[in-house]
Amino acid sequence: MNGFGLVALCGGLAVVLWVLAKLGRAFAAIAETLAALAVIGVALWALLRAVGWIVRQLVTRWRSCLAVLAVTAWWHWWGWLSLALVGGTLALATLVWHVVDAVGFDRWCGRWLRAWWLRWAVYGRKLPDWLHACGLTIRDEAVPVDVTVNLVSRRRKREAVAQARQQSGVAVPALLRVRSGPSWDEVQVRLVPGQKPEDFDDAARALATARRVTRVQVREVSPDVVSLDFMRRDLLATPVSCLPLPDLVAVDGTGVDLRGVYAGRTEYGKPWLLPLTGPGAHTLVAGATGAGKNSVMWCPLVSAASAIRAGVVRVSGIDPKGMELAYGRGIFARYGVSGKEALDVLDALIDVLEARKREFAGITRDVPISAENPLELLEFDEIGALTKYTDRKTREAIVERLAILTTQGRALGFGVRGYVQEPTKDTVPVRELLPRRICLRVTSKTHVGMVLGDGAYERGAWANRIPESAAGVGYAWGEGIREPLRVRAGWVSDATVKALENYVTNGGAQVIDLARKRREGNARGTA
């Protein structure tokens, strides 16, 4: 290699080294820029997450946040001593308020404090474990990820999936709200994708065991939110009284709302109202011997006593045993015991029904209830005795007439209330024509579904678990009600039944003696 070639080679190497040096500095600058951007991005991401967490806490736990802020501000401006004095004074005032007026304290203060404490100390810590143990969780990999979902769906998905990852790779329904009443805790949770409210219905008993309560009611608040109502205290543990007769002073019957008369108390401590007219007038009450069917029968009649006395309500009774309704025989305008007498009662009701059809056809769609056109209420005790356990001809005739009354009678001012021990379709062929159902204590789990419909037991209607000592306790399920309502009918003593009879008959209520009318008709026919 000559000198020129050596110089060219050295020059080329110098150029390559210079280019590499320039590129290295450029690459270093690019790397430094990217690293700085990455650090800034991570910092902004962490800041946004922190701000989002603070905002969520302010929205979902605003009471606690305000309390912490108030305590911090007070300590900052006035010190710990004044804070302790104010806290002690508030605690003493709260204790005195609770002692003096426990009901008012619970309404305005106690339930909020209890809900706050239960959220932090009980449901916030233990509910994810209970849901996981009861099979109410979804594995994370089973939760679908859709990149096209909107921001609201992303927030809900993060809330449902990321909030409970401590459960070893499963997604737990998010706790949304806790409310506490005198006897119930309402815990609202948001379902994760892949769940449905019926899953919580099936796990109601398991949730009750986990919470160590006797009853859990599952209510669907919205398509993806359910409320788990835990009963802390049973308000139906003691007998419920019926309304006293002296309070029924409206002689004209206008003071009684027949669309909902008092029948007892619900598990939420509210009055249980039963309609004697309207869509829910036709009622089927099922229960074993001693379950309290008589309370469901007599308590609404006591509540409607002034309307019966004024003739606005006319009650007919069919009593195959000849015992229960006979004790208050005076309030029944028509009364029958045997199959023939039951047919007489039903035929008399159908005659009134046909007369009203001819009178009001084309004039009104619902007959107005009045003393001229009273509500015709049929109390059919032990309905199965005459719809199954009798001769075929009588049975078919009774079923035919009951079908006419239940399918045509609502708009014409008729109501049928039947009581049965064995609620099978064979025993009560017109069972489906009695839309309002009440299931008292029964001997079999299958009877619950026969009375209240499919899925009633899974939704909390545990009528086969009602103790024998709880007469009158049962579950009501009418039109438009998804969740069965636990109720207790008001107890009516023998003395009250006699007082009701005297109250009604002394007012001049009309009693139709079908046997006498039949004898008079036979006498005229003979003559």
- How many residues make up the chain in this entry? 527
CA 3 vs CA 13, 15, 461, 504: distances in Å: 15, 18, 107, 138
CA distance 299 to 491: 7
State residue 200 phi and psi, 5-degree precision: -75, -30
One-letter amino acid of 503: Y
Q: Is 388 within 8 Å of 395 (Cβ atoms)? A: yes
Determine the Cα–Cα distance for residues 428 and 387; give it in Å rounded to an integer: 6
User: What does the alpha-carbon distance between residue 403 and residue 408 come to, in Å, rounded to a whole number?
Assistant: 8
Instruction: Give 266's strand partners.
Output: 487
Sign of CA dihedral 262, 323, 337, 506: negative
DSSP class of 225: E
Binding residues for ATP: 287-294
Do 468 and 290 form a contact (C-beta atoms < 8 A)?
yes
Between β-strands 184-190 and 225-231, what pairing exists: parallel, antiparallel or unpaired? antiparallel
Coil, strand or helix: which one is 120? Answer: helix
- 3 state SS of 317: strand
List residues forming the annotated binding site: 287-294
Tell me how far apart the alpha carbons of residues 58 and 147 are, in angstroms, rounded to a whole number.
28
Residue 218 C-beta-side C-alpha neighbours within 13 Å: 26
Extended strands (E) in 369-469: 375-380, 414-420, 436-439
CA-CA distance, 527 to 518, in Å (whole number)?
14
How far apart CA 204 and CA 218 sit, in angstroms, is: 7
Of 438, 461, 463, give the one whose Cα is nearest residue 451.
Answer: 438
Nearest to 63 by CA among 179, 166, 231: 179
